[in-house]
Amino acid sequence: MGGPARLVVLLAVAAATPVAAAADRFVPAEPSFVVANIRQSQPDVALRELLLAWRANPDAIRSVALANAYLERARNLREPAYFGRAEAVLAPLATQAGANASLRRLYAEVLQHRHAFAAAEGLLDSLLHDVPHDADARLLRASVRLVRGEFVGARADCAQLVGAAGSGAILGFACLAEALAGAGDLDRALALLNSGLAQQSGADSSARAYLLATRAELRERSRDLNGAILDYCEALRLAPREDSIRAALADALAAKGDLAEARELLAIDKPSLALLVRSAALADGKRRAELKDRAAAWLALEAARGDAVHYREEALLALAEADPARALNAATRNFVEQRELPDVRVLARAALAARNADAQQALRLWLEETGYRDSVTEGILDDGVGS
């Protein structure tokens, strides 16, 4: 460990302690004071039956059924506890030799949720080696590879999905477009998406939202900010609970200078960390300080829990706090595992803010090697514009 790192680590352990320790106690003056809302929308009879069956016999079939139900609720209700429950059900069986394909695929999804991308990809590699025609596993691996910037591998997976029947083909279209765009072929990727959107005009709204959001990102990278905003707006209309689309639209609006619209877009109840950090960056005065404190507390809690820290958001927060060294450190650590558009841009901005020529050069090299193109990143690296 170099520098005074270990000592700083010692101090960091001490700094993590207040995460548990600091919170003033109080006793409500009014007995009617509402401490918490614990209402469940409806008793979940189906889940209860699956749970009872699993408790009676926790075999692979019942484990898959229960984990599937947990994951479905985790996605629909945005409730992280269901991911934890799915993991608790899957982990004992999925990590055993000879675990069936469904167990391994679901466990890979849980790993991806935890940002354990390398572990997820490794598990999917072995699964696809055993069951090459598992389209769901291939889609999942393609998405992991896209996140990690492995565009060549992702392209191979996506190409196989395009040939699949039904909804898998739609996914394959968008996935292939993302992979092509990752390698710099923005024009072909856009043509593919336009064709996909034309063919899938009656497609499911979420499928269409995915295609539109992907096209919006490509338009943004090709300097068509207005076109991107239109696509993001439509995508968000179709999938209003999708925070990643909301965050991308807010970024595009802010880039265009429509700060008030971006702020309004981000002002939702119980925002995710990604939205919270963006709100903090766009807010002023006392509100800005309050939002930054909330985001910082969130990140500190993740670190204290030992979770995968959201380094992208930490970098964005550090940039908002005018702390370029911390921003570059977080953005660099984030880029090891995540190489999507916001990851590329935040790294470029942090490297510029920190005036770190080595980091800028390393990013340039990555862009050259992959062929990745983004007009904003190029502007930051070449002209120092966009910090």
Partner 1 sequence: MNKWIPALLLCLALLGASPPASSHAASTSFVILDLPGRDEPVGVRWDLSLHDIVWVVFIDADYDGNVTWQEILDAKSSLTSALLAQLSVQRGGAPCTVRVQDFALATRSEQNFLSVAMQADCPKAGLVSVGGGLFLSGDASQRVLLSALRGKEQIAGVLSAAEPAWTEPVQVSAWASFARFVGEGVWHVLIGYDHIAFVLLLLLPSVMRPVAGKWHGATGFKQVTRDVVTIITAFTIAHSITLALAVTGTVILPIKPIEIAIAASIAIAGAVNLVPRLAKLRLPLAFGFGFVHGFGFANALSELDAEGTTLLPLLGGFNIGVELAQLGIVALVLPLIYSMRATRWYSGAVLPLGSCALGMAGVVWMLQRV
Could you tell me if 71 and 50 are in contact, meaning their C-beta atoms sit under 8 angstroms apart? no
What is the distance between the alpha carbons of residues 225 and 231, in angstroms, rounded to a whole number? 10
CA distance 30 to 205: 47
φ and ψ at residue 14, rounded to 5 degrees: -65, -35
Instruction: Kindly indicate which of the ranges 8-16, 181-189, 253-261, 348-356 contains the residues binding partner 1, using the contact rule CB under 8 A.
Output: 8-16
Cβ–Cβ < 8 Å for 89, 70: yes
Considering only 93, 99, 104, 112, the residue that binds partner 1 (CB under 8 A) is 112
- Binding test (CB under 8 A) with partner 1, winner from 199, 205, 361, 387: 205
Applying CB under 8 A, does 243 fall inside the site for partner 1? yes
Residues 344-383, interacting with partner 1 (CB under 8 A) = none
Using the contact rule CB under 8 A, the part of the chain among 256-264, 293-301, 345-353, 362-370 near partner 1 is 293-301
* Closer residue to partner 1, CB minimum distance, 295 or 352: 295
Helix, strand or coil, per DSSP, at residue 181: helix
Among 200, 272, 356, 370, binds partner 1 (CB under 8 A): 272
**Which of 298, 372 has the CB closer to partner 1?**
298
104 vs 263, beta carbon nearer partner 1:
104
State the nearest-atom distance from the C-beta of 171 to partner 1, in Å.
7
The phi and psi torsions of 369 (rounded to 5 degrees) equal: -65, -40
The residue within the footprint of partner 1, chosen from 213, 228, 250, 291 (CB under 8 A), is 213
Structure tokens at 216: 């919006």
Binding mask 38-77 for partner 1 (x = CB under 8 A): xxx---------------------------x--xx-xxx-
> CA nearest 370: which of 145, 49, 190, 45?
145
Residues in 143-202 that interact with partner 1 by CB under 8 A? 143-144, 146-147, 167-168, 170-171, 174-175, 178
Binding residue (CB under 8 A) for partner 1 from 239, 277, 295, 330:
239
Q: 244: exposed, middle or buried (C-beta count within 10 Å: 0-12, 13-18, 19+)?
A: middle
Site for partner 1 in 315-344 (CB under 8 A): 340
Residue closer to partner 1, measured from CB, 40 or 257: 40
Q: Which of 224, 234, 302, 321 contacts partner 1 by CB under 8 A?
A: 302
- Burial group, residue 322, by CB count within 10 angstroms (0-12, 13-18, 19+): exposed
> Residue 11 or residue 260: which is nearer to partner 1 going by CB?
11
Which window, 242-250, 255-263, 326-334, 347-355, contacts partner 1 (CB under 8 A)? 242-250
Distance CA 8, CA 11 (A): 5
Cα–Cα distance for residue pair 112/143, rounded to 1 Å: 10
Sign of CA dihedral 270, 274, 279, 285: positive
For tokens 């995460």, the residue is 19
Under DSSP, the state recorded for 308 is P
Residue matched to tokens 């039956």: 49
Q: How many residues bind partner 1 (CB under 8 A)?
A: 104
Query: Of 46, 260, 297, 385, which lies in the binding site for partner 1, with binding defined by CB under 8 A?
Result: 297
**Binding-site member from 44, 49, 59, 79 for partner 1 (CB under 8 A):** 79
